[in-house]
Amino acid sequence: MSQLLPLRTGWRLTAATGSDVPAPIATATVPATVPGCVHTDLLAAGLIPDPYLDANETALAWIGRADWHYETAFTWHDTGASDVDLVCAGLDTVATVTVNDVEVGRTANMHREYRFPVRHLLREGENTLAVRFDSAYAYAERLRDWLGDRPNAYPEPFNFIRKNACNFGWDWGPTLVTAGIWRDIALHEWSLARLERVRPQTHRDDEGWRVRVEADLPAPAPAGLEVRVAVAGASALLAVPEGATTITADLAVPGAQTWWPRGHGAQPLHDLTVTLHKGDTELDAWSRRIGFRTVGLDTEPDEHGTPYTVLVNDRPILVRGANWIPDDVFVARITRDRLADRFRQATEAGINFLRVWGGGIYESHNFYDLADELGVLIGQDFLFACAAYPEEEPLAAEVTAEARDNVARLASHPSLVVWTGNNENLWGHQDWDWIEALGDRTWGAGYYFEVLPAVVAELDPTRPYWPGSPYAGTRDIHPNDPAHGTTHIWDVWNTDDYTRYLDYRPRFAAEFGYQAPPAHATLRRSISDPELAPDSPGMAHHQKAIGGDAKLKRGLDAHFRPPRDFDDWHWLTQLNQARALALGITHFRSLWPLCTGTIMWQLNDCWPVTSWAAVDGDGRRKPLWYALRDAHAERLLTFQRRGDDVVLFGLNDTGEDLVGEVAVTRRDFDGRVLAKHDAPLHAAARGGAALELPADLTRPDDARAELLLAEFAGQRAWWFFDRDKDLDHPAATFGVTAAEVPGGYTVRVTAGSLLRDLTLFPDRVHPACEADTALVTLLPGESHTFTVTGPAGLDPADFGAAPVLRCAND
């Protein structure tokens, strides 16, 4: 029987001789956590400040330029196994590995597993294991000089090394170039034969569910091996042909239950086990939970262009998605519990799809396990982003090995529904002045159109592959043509007001977003500016987007009167972000089935920063999160502009028809009804209905002081006829009753006037406080109760006034 012997303990970290590091660190030996990285080890030892605070990131740039040495001692006893391998699940990145002072291998790819035979080097009793990490900068710059520079989005050499690109800085991320043993490292003892890769693929025939299991062996099989496959009450025993390197079993599984995305059915998972035997001896075993479903993409051209429709079990799925980046720059800190918090926030916001973006990492099994359990669909980018990538050696071989490793590693997860070749590189080549800069140099096309689809076709043929995001479905059409395939919409943030979303009719909106700062408590934890201002030193350092603050100001100027102070600025930028994404998502949803999905940028952050995220770097929900929850509701009532008309939509992403009567009123800001219309609503399952409204509703007498309100089955939809700065909003008046209750507080607000987008920011009272609702609009006389979770003993009166309690017209 094979066994893994983890090597997690006893590690020590030192700066390699000759590295340019501060004097106290040059002579220091510190305990190292494995998995971990240099930054977190130095931080734990008290030798560096927290890189996420103020501008410490800049002062720590030397870490990525230095070389580092990890070493541990371990005890080994000979059990008689014929083979012992050192298995390195993740080395970041340019490493030389030695056992008992003998080099066993070198690595240059953070994104793949390495295995080195070491039995011949091990000795009974104590042994030493060392890993030297050379500077990722030095390696990447050396390759750049050798192969010739290639264009990219940032002045960093991330496209010359197989490492998470965002380590080198992004328009939402710090430049903190890591090194270390970031995934498990262990000894693997085995004899005669082992299972190298196991790839299950579920499919249906006329009889029901089947699973095809392919298992690879590292060497030709000796005589007399057998493989047993078992799942959901079905099993098969196969003799392994002598000399075989791949074993295939295809068995019917009548006991299998169908796995569905959330909102479409249940997510049953079944234990699949594969065991390798020689006679009565079990040589190796592999086990994972799998789900039985089929996946595909409908990209058959139609009269509108080229669709991009995700199919699960042959059912078209309305994608209500978000883009995902690594949840921490120091990725070894991303635990299952932390991922579970993000998945909870995603699902509570109505998200059914996460796109793992191509500048980060292939996530851990914990990530995909959670997606499997919760029915969250995953689109997985291969790790290429915003740059031209060389196709020469040594990178070409690394890319192929990385792709084969991760496609096989993730094949068991039913949540994974599509592989995508890259992020924005096809678009960049077309529009970002790359062609002239490149000349005849390679830029990645061979990866996206040849290498990667070939790997997927061989190792994971039941999942679709898409060459890039965005991509039009053919190289003959502009890659970011909204009428074809997947589209990224960034003119809204970069140059245009967010009402520009209404001009788009995309087939699938795979990236679009709008910035806002993080929660106030997050700012105050990470920035020590005596007075916060949009351009104060700490705020400026935690704004990574070029021209970001000017773009925020442009957005505010278009919609609001000038903010009086920082608190106004903070509130209005967060409100503008929420309004922008709500408008875009609901507009695109109203186009179903022309537009089959949205993947907003982005769900999460990796550190405290002004960004496009709905959940900030400390895990706090911005107002945008609440807007996503509303816009992603399975049953949604929404007003939309169609030409010069205002149309009411009932959108229904459930399996049952939505039937009833909608009450629509035009009112003044005092709440008086000026016109009323009741209309029947019948929105078919997985569909929607548009209700054209009479002119006496949609043509206001005074656009500056009137609104539309639609009410149906406890839902409300609001429509204001102009932008806030041009409306005659009444001064906000209200009464507040707050009380402590078990687990937190209740804050009841009774409107004396119209209160638009009423929002509570309880983190301003205590960093641990969180409200259940936000962006609530009330007519005069109406009330709403916020439920706040948080520590006991706070003064409830602190929740009742600005800047804790805000509305758009306060």
- Alpha-carbon distance of 590 to 500, in angstroms, equals 16
pLDDT one-digit tens code per residue, 792-809: 999 999 999 999 999 999
Q: Which amino acid is at 121?
A: L
| Per-residue b or e along 432-469, where b marks 16 or more CB atoms closer than 10 Å to that residue's CB | bebeeebeebbbbbebbeebbbebbeebbebbbbbbbb
| Fold equal for 197-290 and 636-726 | yes
Radius of gyration of the chain (CA): 28
Confidence (pTM): 0.97
Integer Cα distance of 399 and 447 in angstroms: 8
**Separation between Cα atoms, residue 808 and residue 669, nearest integer Å:** 13
C-alpha–C-alpha distance, residues 403 and 26, integer Å: 38
Torsion of CA 150, 154, 155, 160, to 10 degrees: -50
Cα separation, 790 vs 799, in Å, equals 12
Question: Cis peptide before 470, with omega less than 30 degrees from 0?
Answer: yes
Record the tokens describing residue 598, joined without a space.
């949205």
Count of CA atoms in the C-beta half-sphere (13 A) of 30: 25
For the beta carbon of residue 66, count every other beta carbon within 10 angstroms. Answer: 22
| pLDDT given for residue 1 in this prediction | 77
What tokens appear for 165 in the block? 């690109």
How many other C-beta atoms can be found within 10 angstroms of the C-beta atom of residue 557? 12
- DSSP secondary structure, 132-147, as one string: EEE-HHHHHHHHHHHH
Residue 535 pLDDT: 95
What CATH number labels 307-515+593-632? 3.20.20.80
Token readout for 95 is 């490493």
- What is the CB neighbour count within 10 angstroms for residue 685? 11
- List pLDDT tens digits, range 254-305: 999 999 999 999 999 999 999 999 999 999 999 999 999 999 999 999 999 9
Q: For residue 290, with 0-12 CB atoms within 10 Å meaning exposed, 13-18 middle and 19 or more buried, which class applies?
A: buried
Question: What is d(CA 202, CA 194) in angstroms, rounded to the nearest whole number?
Answer: 23
Q: Tell me what pLDDT residue 721 has.
A: 97
CA distance 325 to 360: 6
Strand order in the sheet with 687-692: 635-642, 645-652, 687-692
Residue 187 Cα distances to 49, 106, 190, 247, angstroms: 35, 17, 10, 25
For the chain, residues with pLDDT lower than 50 are none
Domain range 636-726, CATH architecture: Sandwich (2.60)
The class that CATH gives domain 3-135+179-190 is: mainly beta
* DSSP 8-state class, residue 424: S
**Rounded Cα distance, 714 and 306, in Å:** 37
Residue 358, amino acid: G
CB 194 within 8 A of CB 222: no
Ordered by start, the domain boundaries in the chain are 3-135+179-190, 197-290, 307-515+593-632, 636-726, 734-806
Question: Domain 197-290 class?
Answer: mainly beta
